[in-house]
Chains A and B, each alone.
Chain A
Amino acid sequence: EVQLVESGGGLVKPGGSLRLSCAASGFTFSSHTMNWVRQAPGKGLEWVSSISSTSSYIHHADSVKGRFTISRDNAKNSLYLQMNSLRAEDTAVYYCARDGILIPAAGLFDYWGQGSLVTVSS
């Protein structure tokens, strides 16, 4: 059974940093592009970042470029999102999502984690 479990969310002050993790199991993690998608309270879904299976292709939304960094450790079946210079508008539930198509940055999100809430507030 495919499982994605996020952790690392919490309350952080504006300008602060946080690192999210996503532990994957039940599939060959090293074969799939992985993504972060976020959802601000009461709002819609926003794609944040994607990383290909071998980390060769990395993409970030313009809204987080230069502040967020996606990475992965295939030996640990883990995905990460390092978030720096956090702003109030980054407050959201952050989901990790598996790409079901085995090409870089395809965009078919077939499995999602339960989400991790990040709150940026003073």
Chain B
Amino acid sequence: DIQMTQSPSSLSASVGDRVTITCQASQDISNYLNWYQQKPGKAPKLLIYDASNLETGVPSRFSGSGSGTKFTFTISSLQPEDIGTYYCQQYHNLPITFGQGTRLEIK
């Protein structure tokens, strides 16, 4: 199975800050990498697909980059509504696997 390792596991930032989350795959997954946001008590929401493509309707302050084994998710200017947990997910191989999540809080 492909292991997905996110860092940090939690972070606290101020409104307006640039926030970066990294995700490392245990083997080459090309660009078969998605990012999801999950707010408390809600279902996950797709934000970024294929490592760098913004899902329709998602604000442009969200972005993703990377390929192979190293990936980055960025919020260019943190907003209060961005609190939640963020997950990376690979779909290069079955089983589909997720990172352990990064909990984002506002300072």
**Residues of B in contact with A (beta carbons under 8 Å apart):** 32, 34, 36, 38, 42-46, 49-50, 55, 87, 89-91, 94-101
Nearest chain-B residue to A62 (Cβ)? B95
Bound: A114/B44 CA distance, A: 9
The reply to whether B95 and A108 form a contact with Cβ atoms under 8 Å apart is no
Instruction: List residues of chain B with CB within 8 A of the CB of A112.
Output: 43-45
Instruction: Name the prevailing secondary structure of the B interface residues.
Output: loop
Contact of A45 among B45, B89, B91 (CB under 8 A): B89
CB distance from A37 to the nearest CB of B (A): 8
What 3 pairs across the A-B complex have the smallest Cβ distances? A107-B91, A112-B43, A47-B96
Q: Are A59 and B94 in contact (CB under 8 A)?
A: yes
Q: Does A95 contact B (CB under 8 A)?
A: yes
Q: How far is the CA of A88 from the CA of B49 in the complex (A)?
A: 33
Q: Which of A103-117 contact B (CB under 8 A)?
A: 105-110, 112-115
A109–B98 Cα distance when bound, in Å, is 12
A44 touching B34, Cβ below 8 Å = no
CB <8 Å contact, A108 and B49: yes
Residues of chain A having any CB pair with chain B under 8 Å: 35, 37, 44-47, 50, 59, 61-62, 95, 100, 105-110, 112-115
Please pick, from B43, B44, B45, B89, the residue contacting A107 in the complex, using a CB distance under 8 A. Answer: B89
* Cβ contacts A to B, 8 pairs, < 8 Å: A44-B87, A47-B97, A50-B96, A95-B43, A100-B46, A107-B32, A108-B91, A112-B43
Complex contact B34–A108 (CB within 8 A): yes
Whose C-beta in chain A lies nearest to the C-beta of B87? A45
User: Which residues of chain A are within 8 angstroms of B36 by Cβ–Cβ distance?
Assistant: 45, 109
Q: Are B98 and A110 in contact (CB under 8 A)?
A: no
User: Whole-angstrom distance from the CB of B94 to the nearest CB of chain A?
Assistant: 6
Distance in Å: Cβ of B69 to nearest Cβ of chain A: 17
Known: A45-B87, A100-B49, A107-B89. A113 touches B98 (CB 8 A): no
Cα-based distance from A76 to B36 in the complex (angstroms) = 29
Q: A44-B98, A59-B95, A112-B45 are in contact. List 6 more A-B contacts (CB 8 A).
A: A45-B44, A47-B95, A62-B95, A95-B44, A105-B94, A114-B42
